[in-house]
Chain A
Amino acid sequence: MADQSTKKSPPVSVRQENFLRAHHRHHHRITLGRFLLLFLFLGFWETASGLAWIDSFFFSSPSGIIKYLGQMLADGSFFTHTGITLFETITSFILVTVLSLAAATLLWYQNSLSEILEPYLVVLNALPKSALAPLLIVWLGTGSNTIIVAGISVAVFGSIISLYTGFCQVDPEMCKLIYTLGGSRKDALVKVILPSSVPLILSSMKVNIGLSLVGVIIGEFLAARRGLGYLIIYGSQVFQLNMVITSIIILCAIAMVFYKLIQSAEHYYKKQY
């Protein structure tokens, strides 16, 4: 098999080979640099706490974090807290995506509605959502509902505004084409506006997943007995800084995984079209 594939590939000139080699070398260097930075940071942190340059009670240490993580995995609290945060974030992300697409479509469909709602949307978007949290607690109690609504409230208004703006920027001539071929406004929406906005929808999803996570953590700070946000607040109150920093690191990992997932969706879309 390997022989066959080498036989089939066209001959590569020396210059092309050099170019490819330089390209790969560059990529390897970047990856190496990224890992080096991480290890240097962790190494410095560990040494500093080991040699008591910093107080490991306040600043924790990589070894302390790993130990705490092992403990969390052993007693299963890792899965409860991470699971509930993930569940809340994904639920609010899906709801944000669906709601904002529906709302942007409606606004595009009804010009006067968008004119009526514009100032309200801008104000709601600018409003710090943490100001709403006490109200949500009173209305919905403490628990997942409140937290999911908090996650939605952080992301949804900005997402509606950016999707609607994107819909309006689609070349009007493309819609004219639909009308000249006998199509209606609904056809223009389905055949032109939505498909041409797929890159925009994907990039707004990228922003939304991050904002949903922000909203969920705010919600958990204020109204939860479970979840990573709760662990962070609880850990700081009982001076368990290992707990706080471990939770933050799990959050980093979650954000990274979400980002990679949407990025691969984007890659898949680009490969298709």
Chain B
Amino acid sequence: MQPILSLRDVSYSYHNLKGETPALSHISLQISEGSFAAVVGPSGCGKSTLLSLIAGLLPPEDGEILYRGLSSKDYCADSALRIGYMLQRDHLFEWRTVYQNVILGLELTHSLTAENTDYVLKLLDDYGLYGFKDKKPSELSGGMRQRAALIRTMAIHPDLLLLDEPFSALDFQTRLSVSADIASIIRKTGKTALLITHDLSEAITLADHVIVLSRRPASVKQEMSILYEINREDPLAIRATPAYQEYFNQLWEVLTDGRPID
């Protein structure tokens, strides 16, 4: 299939007076349309930098990012090719109600049409938040907040979804159910998604394509395709399959270079 997103030889460094910190070094990868990809790597290896580059918040220093054949300057200007970005923390604003929070993107892009607000209300209904739309964010549970953040991201009809460790602030139990929930929502809509995580089990339960990054400066170490015979909906059932164990061990081997952890 034609890749929706392709990175060619992308490098990026942070600069300050003490020197240069290379974050990404010669990253090349391709994401095909409709796939759910996960990027894993040691913490602080530059995973978030990668997403900021793809979202067009930072310009690449070297290399090229093509999204539907357009370079980052062009696709950021094209309102039909929106990129949804879900941050690590939900950042629901306490001075707005849940509803006012989820329409923030529509407000900013001046697209508060009846059609779009109907879509938002439908999403709120689908994700069980309709009854909470006039509440303050602080009245929601962790999982509900994350779902509200997802609705806020989906409201602008993104063509590609970037997820920057969106589950890391949740406790383990909520995390299992919310991550499975959100992954199945994204699969149902058929959107292409790129998830960043440091949790290997999360990557191999949710994604069908895993990209392993090296230590900083990050480069692509290996790519793996993940395929299960059973339905993806149930994260616990997947975790019980032998294939899951197999993938986990492979991934662990790649990340640690076959050495025991030091």
Contact A273 B136 (CB under 8 A): yes
Smallest CB-CB separation from B94: which chain A residue? A273
Interface residues on A, range: 10 to 19
A174 at the interface (CB under 8 A from B): yes
Interface code A178-210, partner B: CB below 8 Å = 1, 0 otherwise?
111111000100011001101000000000000
Instruction: List A contacts of B93 (CB < 8 A).
Output: 174, 191-192, 195-196
Which residues in A have some Cβ–Cβ distance to B below 8 Å?
171, 173-174, 176-183, 187, 191-192, 195-196, 198, 273
- Complex: how many Å from CA A177 to CA B91? 8
Our pick among A176, A177, A182, A196 for the contact of B95 (Cβ within 8 Å) is A196
Contact B108 A181 (CB under 8 A): yes
Smallest CB-CB separation from B155: which chain A residue? A181
Chain A interface SS verdict (over half)? helix
- Complex: how many Å from CA A182 to CA B107? 10
Our pick among B89, B94, B107, B108 for the contact of A173 (Cβ within 8 Å) is B89
B23 at the interface (CB under 8 A from A): no
Contact B156 A182 (CB under 8 A): yes
Interface residues on B, range: 20 to 34
Contact B91 A181 (CB under 8 A): no
- Complex: how many Å from CA A48 to CA B85? 74
- Complex: how many Å from CA A64 to CA B136? 56
Q: Return 22 A-B CB contacts under 8 Å, by A number.
A: A173-B89, A173-B91, A176-B57, A178-B104, A178-B108, A179-B57, A180-B57, A180-B85, A180-B87, A181-B85, A181-B105, A181-B108, A182-B105, A182-B108, A182-B109, A191-B93, A191-B107, A191-B108, A192-B93, A198-B95, A273-B95, A273-B136
Enumerate B55-85 residues with CB–CB distance to A below 8 Å: 55, 57, 79, 82-85
CB distance from A63 to the nearest CB of B (A): 52
Instruction: List B contacts of A171 (CB < 8 A).
Output: 91
B152 at the interface (CB under 8 A from A): yes
